[in-house]
Amino acid sequence: MSAVGTLAAIDFRAMHHLAELFPGKALTKVGKLSDYHAGLKKSNADSDVYFYDSGKKGATVLIVGGTHPNESAGFMTAVVILENLKIETGRAIIIPMVNQSGFTCTDPMEALPMYFEIRTDKGVRRFPSGSRASNPLDQWPDPLVYTQYPSGQRYSGGESRNLNRCYPGKANGSLTEQVAYSVIQLLKKEKIDIAFDLHEAAPEIPIVKAIVYHAKSEALAMGAILDLEMDGLSYTPELSPPNFHGLSHREWGDNTDVLPLLMETSNPIQGRLRGKTNSDLILKGFSPNYQTAKETGALKIAYDQEGESLESRVGRHINGIVAILNNYNLEYPDKAISISGLPTYFDLKKNKIGKYLN
């Protein structure tokens, strides 16, 4: 029994050891979420904030990964960007692990892997896969019903630890609400012009392989989707419902001047049909069960029969971001942002993601 306890303690400590990241040379500063809300200082939710400032006039873009830490492509897209980004005009701010607390646990009763490993030119790197929600050790107990502030909209109690139900947050609220509050303060203080929240969803979810946009971001989303279609990449446009509160694409737009967009990729490990659940499913995205569902038409799903690899999912996010920024520059030529150095969808598919990790 003591041996079991020792192994559990080792696993617990491993989950609390966050992945080391290696920003590219264009990095100018590293801050903290607590710079925008002191209540997070010294907490497990005080995430790193990475700044890339060209020193030349232009827009400021925010890229957020790790809202749901178990949606690995959202997190890894932010990592690939921060380790490769070059910037010629404007600024980029990246928060790769915005719900840092959620990276220190996994979802109960799901048998999800605690981490996955990627081979790079310099060796093997390990990344946490995490949970959809903040660690219950950091925020407990869950209420029976979570009442979203300030709309009063009601969700199940566990959603109180879901960052993407907690915007615009509360300075004196729960830990997750305070994270949401700090992001809103960052958007305001840093005068963010355009912001991305990167996600994944099960192949059977209607809003998948999608760009979800606030009404004021519609022109950017639609223009980008047309451009992406020309490159052979299909994205579904989804307007943010005005009566669905707490989500980034809704509350960022309603509470700040930012143009917000949320992007979803298709990830079999998120789904109910996934079958064998391990780190290979995160990396390769191949599920025989989803392949059968696709072949038979038993279920309407967004699933590539070769598998939804991490490379393809990260690539879709990067190509989507670049296409939207290109359309932003056409719409706002006097306040353009110029970035480079990022691998494309096709680069990642050809060379694998490890090629682009430092």
Mean pLDDT to the nearest integer, 156-185 = 98
- Residue 16's pLDDT is what? 59
Domain map of the chain by residue range? Answer: 2-356
For residue 12, what pLDDT band results from cuts at 50, 70 and 90?
very low
Share of the chain above pLDDT 90, in %: 94
Among the ranges given (156-160, 241-245, 275-279, 296-300), the one the predictor scored with the smallest mean pLDDT: 296-300
> What average pLDDT does range 196-216 have in this prediction?
96
pLDDT digits (tens, 9 = 90+) for 133-147: 999 999 999 999 999
pLDDT higher than threshold 90 for residue 1:
no
Tell me the CATH number of domain 2-356, given options 3.40.630.10, 3.40.50.720, 1.10.3680.10, 2.40.160.40.
Answer: 3.40.630.10
Q: Which two tokens stand for residue 256?
A: 């700040």
Long-range contact set of residues 31-40: C-beta below 8 Å, sequence gap at least 24: 33/95, 33/98, 33/179, 33/182, 33/183, 33/186, 34/182, 36/182, 36/183, 36/185, 36/186, 36/189, 37/171, 37/178, 37/181, 37/182, 37/185, 39/171, 39/172, 39/178, 40/175, 40/178, 40/179, 40/182
Distance CA 187, CA 350 (A): 36
**The pTM is what?**
0.95
pLDDT value, residue 298: 86
Average pLDDT over residues 203-219: 96
SS3 per-residue string spanning 304-320: CCCCCCHHHHHHHHHHH
pLDDT surpasses 50 at 199: yes
Buried-exposed string 18-28: b where 16+ CB fall within 10 A, e elsewhere: beebebbebbe
pLDDT band at 185 (very low <50, low <70, confident <90, very high): very high
Share of the chain above pLDDT 70, in %: 96
How far apart, in Å, are the Cα atoms of 181 and each of 12, 39, 268, 276?
Answer: 28, 10, 31, 38
Question: How many CA atoms lie less than 13 Å away from 197 in the CB half-sphere?
Answer: 27
Residue 101 has pLDDT above 90, yes or no: yes
- Note the pLDDT of residue 15: 55
pLDDT at 17 over 90: no
What's the mean pLDDT in 33-46? 98
Confidence (pLDDT) at 299? 85
Give the DSSP per-residue string, 151-180: T--EEEGGGGG-GGGTTT--TTS-HHHHHH
Q: What is the mean pLDDT of residues 251-269?
A: 98
Say how far apart CA 231 and CA 197 lie, in whole Å. 22
Sign of the Cα pseudo-torsion (244, 247, 253, 257, in order): positive
Q: What are phi and psi of 103, to 5 degrees?
A: -80, -5
Say what the pLDDT of residue 201 is: 97
Whether pLDDT at 83 is above 60 = yes
Using CA atoms in the order 251, 82, 285, 98, what is the torsion angle rounded to 10 degrees? -40
From first CA to last CA, the distance across the chain in angstroms is 41
Is a pLDDT exceeding 60 seen at residue 11? no
Mean pLDDT over 317-326 rounds to: 98
Point out which residues pair with 145 in neighbouring strands.
156
* Mean pLDDT along residues 63-73: 98
CA–CA gap between residue 342 and residue 92 (Å, rounded): 13
Residue 6 has pLDDT above 80, yes or no: no
pLDDT on residue 5: 44
CB 314 within 8 A of CB 127: no
Helices within the chain (DSSP H only): 2-15, 72-84, 175-189, 218-230, 248-255, 279-284, 288-296, 310-331, 345-351
pLDDT band at 96 (very low <50, low <70, confident <90, very high): very high
